[in-house]
Structure 1
Amino acid sequence: MGPSTADQRAALPPALTEVLDGYEEHLRLQRNLSAHTVRAYVGDVVSLLDHLVRRSGSVPADLDLSVLRSWLAQGRTRGGSRSTTARRAASARSFTAHLHRAGHLPHDVGQRLVSPKAHRPLPDVLGADQARTVVESAVARAAESTGDPDGDPLTAAVALRDALVLELLYATGIRVGELVGLDVDDVDPARRLVRVLGKGRKERSVPYGRPAQTALDAWLGTGRPRLAHPDSGPALLLGRRGGRLDPREARRVVHAALGATPGAPDIGPHGLRHSAATHVLEGGADLRSVQELLGHASLATTQIYTHVTVERLRAEHARAHPRA
């Protein structure tokens, strides 16, 4: 087992540490990337700079195309996948472009760095009937729990919250991080819209349907007041102790609901997002609308769902057509 990223970073020469710190600040403050994305980019660059040091480099000007290529090749020989190599190359190109703009490199040495295109496997999705069962089962459990006069009020409140988690994730296709980041005021019941702060801190409004509104009304009217305390703040969804719902708990809710549904793949919250996008497309929505719904910066990202729907059509044809 090799040294950790923290150990590699601590061992870098001062000149490389300085440009790494500047790059991290650039990602956080100027590009407004999430903490998770910043960690991923910085982790790749730390690995690159550690490789540079092992090749006797000590200043940014020592970074050239041969160093970049040998670093990528080393990752492949250690078992890195095509997608990992593609990600590392993207991190390197982002870093060298920043160094050039900041005056640390006379030209952008990463412009000529190429990498294999990552295979984009088609995401697993629920069938429309499966998705309906997953959500409606959670709603039924919440109704049963709240209707039990001898039941535990805390358990009933959590059941109402879990039903809303599933309803909103499938109804809107938002990311789990966007879901737990919602405040009460981000919901517009009159127009059935949620205001979402997505990647890059870009705001968008996403519609939801009547079933989700019913779950929302039950949660706000009965569930949330049972969990809330003076320090809960404006968070829409709360944990058992009254704080903002943790993304890990939201994921647990989804996995549990999927596990309780016969035949449903264990796809997690992002799988519900994939399912929502696929079902909306199958229902006749255009690709641009789905792009806006999901908050994708590029239409190319959304186009994966056209492949999903075609593959589902092929599978149905193979199953049902007598001469398939």
Structure 2
Amino acid sequence: MDDLLDDFRVYGLAAGHSQRTITAREQTIGRLARDLDLTTATQNQLTSWLAALVAADGRPLARSSRATYRAHLAAFYGWMQDTEHRTDNPAMKLPKPRVPRAVPHPVTPDEVTRILAACSDPRARMTRAYVLLAAYEGLRVHEVAKVRGEDIAHGEIRIHGKGGTDSTVPLHPSVELLASRMPARGWWFPTTAERAGHVSRVSVSQAIKRAMVRAGVNGTPHSLRHHFGTQVLRATGGDLRTTQRALRHASPATTAIYTQVADDRLRSAVNGIPM
């Protein structure tokens, strides 16, 4: 089994998958291997295995999590078949959980101000930078962790995003000021551990969450990215194409969900109906 997982990891690296994706898939397949023989597992056995999964606290697994597990199985057994480790693909017709489309839950501009105020202590200097990048450039926590001085140029920030894709977004004035105080080369947020590199996405997420708690603001670190997307949509008068570009969504359908929280014209129209 170890050799099989090693081969699957090498395949993921060759395909350019992120380390996060590779690790998540390995963990899922490793968990599966404790219950079933990977080389002989049937579709019915995989279906029963998925159905029996529960969260760490014993509660039923969320549909989104179940869908993620299914995707990991599909990737693994698709690779098994392609590389002739198996002649069939038992994951091909596994049930597909219907995942409800998420609705953004942005923090408000006032709440962003409060979160930044909660980072006024010099010891929270890095956390303040995390918040600025998430709230005013729309970076995800793993993207914040990987920012380098070389990514800032010509009034833009280059973002190393999901799936290994790079894109640029104009610098917000507050981030432009931040950049003038950060290293021009190398990681903005180097790790303090023995290994060289940048801080982890978990460290970024936890630091932002602590600042939100200090500020008395409900939400998650990703709510700062939702703030960015909502404000761009409003500032452009509902221009989905520009907002899609700013958020770096591959599909306009993903951006369209922001209209559910930022359609000021609809709100004004409804409020204007005579009583």
TM over 0.5: yes
* Equivalent residue for 1:127, pick from 108, 113, 132: 108
Unaligned 5+ residue runs, structure 2?
Answer: none
Structure 2 partner of 1:169: 134
Q: 1:260 to 1:311 in 2, by over 3 A?
A: farther
CA contact (8 A) 1:76 1:85 kept: no
Unaligned 5+ residue runs, structure 1?
Answer: 1-15, 54-58, 143-154, 226-232
Q: Distance in 2 between matches of 1:159 and 1:23?
A: 40
CA contact (8 A) 1:64 1:109 kept: yes
The 3-state SS of whatever aligns with 1:215 is helix
Q: 1:39 to 1:257 in 2, by over 3 A?
A: same
Letter in 2 for 1:184: G
* 1:293 aligned onto 2:271: no
Structure 1 partner of 2:5: 20
Structure 2 partner of 1:250: 204
- Return the offset for 1:164: 3.0
Q: Distance in 2 between matches of 1:312 and 1:250?
A: 36
The structure having more radius of gyration, on CA atoms, is 1
C-alpha distance after superposition, 1:197-230 (max 9, x if no partner): 112221111212222212322x23xxx69xxxxx
Structure 1 partner of 2:75: 94
Q: Distance in 2 between matches of 1:258 and 1:99?
A: 44
The 3-state SS of whatever aligns with 2:205 is helix
CA contact (8 A) 2:118 2:215 kept: no
Higher helix share: 1
Structure 1 partner of 2:85: 104
Structure 1 partner of 2:260: 307
* Equivalent residue for 1:68, pick from 46, 50, 72: 46
Letter in 2 for 1:295: R
Letter in 2 for 1:20: L
RMSD of aligned alpha carbons: 3.5
- What count of residue pairs does the alignment treat as equivalent? 269
Greater shift, 98-107 or 252-261, is seen at 252-261
Q: 1:112 to 1:212 in 2, by over 3 A?
A: same
C-alpha distance after superposition, 1:161-209 (max 9, x if no partner): 4433322221110112212211111111xx3211121122211112122
Greater shift, 72-81 or 115-124, is seen at 72-81
- Return the offset for 1:247: 3.9
Q: Distance in 2 between matches of 1:216 and 1:202?
A: 22
CA contact (8 A) 2:126 2:189 kept: yes
Q: Distance in 1 between matches of 2:210 and 2:67?
A: 33
Please show how residues 141-220 of structure 1 align to structure 2 within 5 Å. Answer: 141=120, 155=122, 158=123, 160-188=125-153, 191-217=154-180, 219-220=181-182
Q: 1:240 to 1:35 in 2, by over 3 A?
A: closer
CA contact (8 A) 2:134 2:141 kept: yes
The structure whose RCO (Cα within 8 Å, separation 6+) is larger is 2
Structure 2 partner of 1:229: none
Q: Distance in 2 between matches of 1:43 and 1:30?
A: 19
CA contact (8 A) 1:278 1:309 kept: yes
The 3-state SS of whatever aligns with 1:110 is coil
Q: Distance in 2 between matches of 1:47 and 1:312?
A: 49
* 1:35 aligned onto 2:19: yes
Q: 1:17 to 1:212 in 2, by over 3 A?
A: closer
